[in-house]
């Protein structure tokens, strides 16, 4: 099934992955698509391996996705979230990690609100580390599932026009998507309010739009980012009403998009903010396909990191 090219300890970001590695991840994910549709969704590939979900930032969706991915592979799963962590007793993150590693954990899945947490942990453990989102830095498994979804729908990732819309500044999804799609020679554009674009924007090598009407044309893939409600409170945008006026995917804009363009969203969608709820019937199915593809991509990563390069069943 796999070519055995993949030989990594960690998945920390998309940037450091080679094209061939990404392709191997996608090939592996594709074979798991078949597994998760079986009546018995269970392969013994990670039997006797322990996956530890270290979530220092609340997240139900991503945690459940990793938990199911691990369980479908027959791994044991330990959930560890900050609310009941001994972090509260003043223990440092690294001491916590070393402690759990001493319990013979094989793979850590880490989410934190600080940039770089997954990197620091990976340098301090011989176990594998998967970055499940670190601050505004990176969210590689989201980018990989976005790319995999496009690949499945379009047949190829090569040379597509990809638009990312919304709060680019605070979005680890945007950052990882930009890195990923560029590896396949895509032309990436971003669109958002000036206040929500990063200051190093000119170094990114992407086209910039401040108006979804101008940006829409000729895009093959349109990724709508979630508007965090706290952004408004902190004064990043004048009002949700104005945000909707310029950046929401309305019915009118939906009709003007390129034929066959994919509308994607990392979820959960704020309907009528990022996307008109009247479009839900048309747009939600693909967003849910992203969720399912996320499960398969995460199974592929757990499988490949565990060093099992033989067929899994």
Would you tell me which residues interact with a copy of itself (CB under 8 A)?
A: 36-42, 47-50, 58-61, 64-65, 67-68, 71-72, 76, 78, 80-81, 83-86, 88-92, 95-96, 98-104, 229, 267-271, 284, 288-289, 291-292, 295
Least separation in angstroms between residue 61's CB and a copy of itself is 6
Min dist. Cβ of residue 30 to a copy of itself (A): 16
Distance CA 144, CA 58 (A): 21
Given the complex with a copy of itself, which of 29 and 100 has the nearer CB atom? 100
Nearer to a copy of itself, 17 or 46 (CB): 46
90/155 with CB nearer a copy of itself = 90
Which of residues 64 and 261 has its CB atom nearest to a copy of itself in the complex?
Answer: 64
Shortest Å distance, C-beta 164 to a copy of itself: 20
- Measured distance CA(16)–CA(140) in Å, rounded: 10
> Least Å distance between CB 93 and a copy of itself?
11
Strands 76-81 and 221-224: unpaired
Nearer to a copy of itself, 73 or 206 (CB): 73
Tokens of 70: 């691990």
C-alpha span between 67 and 61 (Å, rounded): 10
CA proximity to 130, closest of 176, 171, 185, 72? 176
Q: How far from 29 is each of 197, 299, 301, 304, CA to CA, in Å? A: 33, 7, 8, 10
What stretches of the chain show up as alpha helix (H) in DSSP? 19-35, 60-72, 93-101, 117-123, 140-154, 172-182, 212-215, 229-233, 240-247, 251-256, 280-305
> Closest approach of Cβ 277 to a copy of itself, in Å?
10
Alpha helices for 110-239 (secondary structure H): 117-123, 140-154, 172-182, 212-215, 229-233
When the beta carbons of 91 and 218 are compared against a copy of itself, the nearer one is 91
Work out how close the CB of 33 gets to a copy of itself at its nearest, in angstroms, rounded to a whole number.
10
**Angle at which helices 172-182 and 140-154 cross, to 10°:** 50
Q: Cβ closer to a copy of itself: 23 or 289?
A: 289
Taking the complex as a whole, how short is the minimal distance between the CB of residue 117 and a copy of itself, in angstroms?
Answer: 17
Q: How far is the CB of 20 from a copy of itself (least distance, A)?
A: 26
Q: Are 148 and 289 in contact (CB under 8 A)?
A: no
Q: Which CB, 65 or 250, lies closer to a copy of itself?
A: 65
Residue 252 structure tokens = 């009118």
Q: What is the spatial distance between Cα 101 and Cα 142, in angstroms, rounded to a whole number?
A: 26
């Amino acid at each position: 099934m796999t070519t055995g090219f993949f030989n990594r300890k960690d998945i920390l970001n998309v940037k450091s992955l080679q094209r061939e590695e990404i392709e191997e991840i996608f090939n592996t994910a594709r074979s798991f698509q078949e597994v998760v549709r079986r009546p018995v969704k269970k392969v013994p590939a990670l039997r006797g391996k322990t996956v530890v979900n270290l979530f220092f930032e609340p997240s139900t969706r991503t945690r459940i996705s990793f938990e199911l991915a691990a369980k479908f592979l027959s791994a044991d799963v330990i959930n560890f979230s900050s609310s009941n962590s001994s972090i509260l007793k003043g223990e440092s993150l690294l001491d916590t990690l070393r402690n759990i590693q001493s319990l013979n954990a094989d793979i850590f899945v880490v989410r934190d609100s600080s940039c770089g947490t997954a990197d620091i942990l990976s340098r301090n453990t011989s176990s594998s580390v998967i970055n499940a989102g670190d601050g505004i830095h990176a969210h590689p498994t989201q980018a990989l599932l976005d790319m995999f979804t496009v690949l499945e729908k379009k047949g190829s990732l090569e040379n597509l026009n990809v638009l990312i819309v919304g709060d680019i500044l605070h979005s680890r999804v945007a950052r990882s998507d930009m890195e990923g799609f560029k590896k396949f020679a895509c032309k990436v554009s971003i669109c958002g309010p000036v206040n929500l674009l990063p200051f190093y924007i000119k170094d990114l090598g992407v086209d910039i739009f401040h108006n979804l009407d101008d940006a829409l044309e000729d895009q093959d893939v349109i990724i709508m980012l979630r508007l965090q409600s706290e952004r408004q409170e902190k004064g990043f945008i004048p009002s949700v009403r104005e945000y909707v006026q310029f950046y929401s995917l309305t019915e009118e804009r939906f009709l003007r998009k390129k034929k066959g363009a994919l509308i994607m969203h990392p979820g959960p969608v704020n309907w009528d903010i990022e996307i008109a709820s009247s479009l839900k019937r048309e747009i939600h199915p693909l967003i849910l396909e992203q969720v399912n593809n996320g499960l398969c991509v995460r199974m592929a990563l757990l499988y490949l990191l565990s060093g099992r390069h033989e067929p899994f069943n």
